[in-house]
Amino acid sequence: MQATRSSAPAKVILFGEHFVVEGQPAIAAAISLRAHVTVEPADTDGILVYSKNLGLLEEYRFAERGAWSGKMLSIAIAAYTAMESLGRKSGVKVTVDSEIPPGSGMGSSAAVAVATTHATFRAFGEEPDLKEVSRIAFEAEKVVHGKPSGIDNTVATYGGVIAYRKGEGFIPLKAELNGVRLVLADSGVPRNTGEMVKRVLELKNTYPSVLEPLYHAAGRLVVEAARRLEEGDYESLGRLMNVNHGFLSAIGVSTLELEKLVYTARRAGALGSKLTGAGGGGFIVALVTAEKEKEVVEALRQLSPRIFSVEISSEGVRKE
**Any idea which residues carry the catalytic annotation?**
152
Site string for ligand PMV, 267-306 (x = CB under 6 A): ----------xx---x------------------------
CA distance 309 to 320: 23
Tell which one of 74, 154, 187, 193 touches ligand PMV (CB under 6 A).
193
Min CB(191)–ligand PMV separation in Å: 6
Considering the rule CB under 6 A, would residue 186 count as an interface residue with ligand PMV?
no
29 in helix, strand or coil? strand
Site string for ligand PMV, 73-102 (x = CB under 6 A): ------------------------------
Q: For 167, list phi and psi in degrees, rounded to 5.
A: 80, -5
Min CB(19)–ligand PMV separation in Å: 8
Helices (H), 98-253: 108-123, 130-145, 151-158, 193-206, 208-231, 234-250
CA distance 56 to 98: 13
Considering the rule CB under 6 A, would residue 18 count as an interface residue with ligand PMV?
yes
Taking the CA atoms of residue 78, residue 79, residue 84 and residue 85 in that order, the dihedral angle to the nearest 10 degrees is 70
Within 8 A by CB and 6+ apart from 115, the residues are 6, 7, 8, 34, 35, 36, 37, 156, 317
Min CB(228)–ligand PMV separation in Å: 21
For residue 296, the cross-strand partners are: none
Tell which one of 3, 197, 214, 217 touches ligand PMV (CB under 6 A).
197
Closest by Cα among 137, 186, 168 to 316: 137
Considering the rule CB under 6 A, would residue 105 count as an interface residue with ligand PMV?
yes
68 in helix, strand or coil? coil
Closest by Cα among 141, 188, 157, 131 to 302: 188
Q: For 139, list phi and psi in degrees, rounded to 5.
A: -60, -45
DSSP string computed for 217-244 = HHHHHHHHHHHHHHHT-HHHHHHHHHHH
Nearer to ligand PMV, 136 or 196 (CB): 196
Min CB(306)–ligand PMV separation in Å: 15
Min CB(164)–ligand PMV separation in Å: 9
Considering the rule CB under 6 A, would residue 20 count as an interface residue with ligand PMV?
yes
Considering the rule CB under 6 A, would residue 21 count as an interface residue with ligand PMV?
yes
Considering the rule CB under 6 A, would residue 5 count as an interface residue with ligand PMV?
no
Considering the rule CB under 6 A, would residue 149 count as an interface residue with ligand PMV?
yes
- The site that binds ligand PMV (CB under 6 A) totals a number of residues, namely 12
Nearer to ligand PMV, 79 or 226 (CB): 226
- List contacts with ligand PMV (CB under 6 A): 13, 17-18, 20-21, 105, 149, 193, 197, 277-278, 282
